[in-house]
Amino acid sequence: MRIFITGGAGYVGSHCVREMCNAGHHVVVLDNLTSGGHREAVDERATLVVGDLADAELVRGTLSEDRFDAVMHFAAMLNVNESVSKPLRYYQNNVSNTVSLLQSMQACGVGKIVFSSTCATYGDVTVAPITEDMPQHPITPYGRSKLAVEWVLRDCAAAWGLGATALRYFNASGASSDGTLGEDRKPEYHLIPLILQVPLGQRADIKIFGADYPTPDGTCVRDYIHVEDLGTVHRLAIESQQAGEFRFYNVGTGHGASVREVIEAARQVTGHEIPAIETPRREGDPPELYADPSKVIRELGWQPAYPTILPIVETAWNWHQAHPKGYAS
């Protein structure tokens, strides 16, 4: 297949580019190399076009130069807290730019897309595990922007035969198994890389936001899904996509790890004591969020290769230890 991948120089996108190249697909990446995108992360077998998704002329021109079979769409702004203070940026980038992309796809006869969605579309959930038939009531502009794109994809599937899959990630984590691709975002706000900054000497301790939740050890529980497992599920989704079909899947391991469990895994992997400081809860943090992935397992035949937290942290540590300054190392 000939696949156009937006945001393919980013954390999840770059791993998916490698997965598609390994499977023998022809890949062209569009990335503006900001917000976590890195030229060094793009597989050398792929073609990189440096540009912004907002440049409709560039997008349409690139799509028209090649007979693409499908699009994988990762280009988006991801900081939940920032979306609250700057909602227009998120609706412009995540929704308006996606509509423009779809218009270009329709004009160029590209009829399949896999979309990087999020479990944040479910909102403030009080029941776990989360299934796809649960109501979607996102509570932030980030989550609402992702849900809006899902609505657009559903309507395009019905109106002009677009084949579309929305993959609702839980917590993307880890790094490539060979240690050459990993997470390099500034500022960093994901738990595992923040924890690993302690043994790297980049911070003194890790904060635990709330230790009095109704969970086994009092800390929040989340579903950590390895980034290579995300690559596999994207490949399975695009290879099986049918015209006019809108599909949606939760992508997680099916169980969670608490903040304390993640810290303890990092202690085991790094051999560092990693001081942890308990602080008050953050507003809006639910006690438990983890997926029921039975639908994606059943329909796509996918299985996570990294079902537990320790090997996920091991791959992350291999990357961060070798790249303490990210790709600039």
CA dihedral 46, 72, 130, 11 (to 10 degrees): 40
Which of helix, strand or coil describes residue 55?
Answer: coil
The tally of CA atoms less than 13 A away on the side-chain side of residue 173 is: 34
> What b-and-e string marks burial along 64-78, b requiring 16 or more CB atoms within 10 Å of the CB?
eeeebbbbbbbbbbb
Decide if 249 is catalytic: no
* CB distance 253 to 291 below 8 Å: yes
- Single out the catalytic residue among 90, 122, 142, 290: 142
Tell me how far the alpha carbon of residue 316 is from its chain's centroid.
Answer: 15
Helices 309-322 and 259-270 cross at an angle (nearest 10°) of 50
Q: Give phi and psi for 123, each to the nearest 5.
A: 80, -150
Q: How far apart are alpha carbons 12 and 30 in whole angstroms?
A: 14
The H or E element spanning position 299 is: helix 294-300
Q: What is the CA radius of gyration of the chain?
A: 19
Find the length of the chain: 329
Tell me, what amino acid is at 4? Answer: F
Confirm if 236 and 229 have CB atoms less than 8 A apart.
Answer: no
Q: How many CB atoms lie within 10 A of CB 82?
A: 17
Q: Which residues pair with 73 in a beta bridge?
A: 6, 115
Query: Which of the residues are catalytic?
Result: 142
